[in-house]
Amino acid sequence: MADTDDSKIDRPAHVRFVRREIVDGAAQHFDRMDFAMRALRLVRPAGMTVAVFEARSALYSETGRDLRRGPGASWGILGVPPHASREDIAIAVVRMAGRSDDPYVLDVILADDSPKV
């Protein structure tokens, strides 16, 4: 018979997670809020009201149904941190609008050279 120590199983384990962020967009100099707003204007999520805010640490997006405004209405929240890249913002906007299956929408957003406000 093998000698097993069952007391080791009952002891709590302490695990330490180290979170590391790879920040690719930090070197890019552009108005991230303006870029997010222009991306939303290009994609125009149907029936969606979107709030955009300056996030502190990570790109944040969430969507949900807006039951007060009726069928098909929805809301979205987009938090844009100061280190977000153009690509990250564009992907978040495309996903929020439900246009991930459109192969050219990211190209259109990233190629938009309209004047910055």
Q: What is the pLDDT of residue 40?
A: 94
Residues 81 and 21 sit within 8 Å (Cβ to Cβ): no
54 burial via Cβ count (<10 Å: 0-12, 13-18, 19+): exposed
**Mean pLDDT within 8-24:** 51
Tokens standing for 29? 């100099």
Write down the residue that tokens 């309209």 correspond to. Answer: 114
Q: What is the pLDDT of residue 22?
A: 47
DSSP state of 112: -
Q: What is the pLDDT of residue 20?
A: 47
Over residues 69-107, the pLDDT tens digits come to 888 899 999 999 999 999 999 999 999 999 988 879 999
Element (H, E) at 43: helix 32-43
Half-sphere exposure of 66 (CA within 13 A, CB side): 16
DSSP state of 115: P
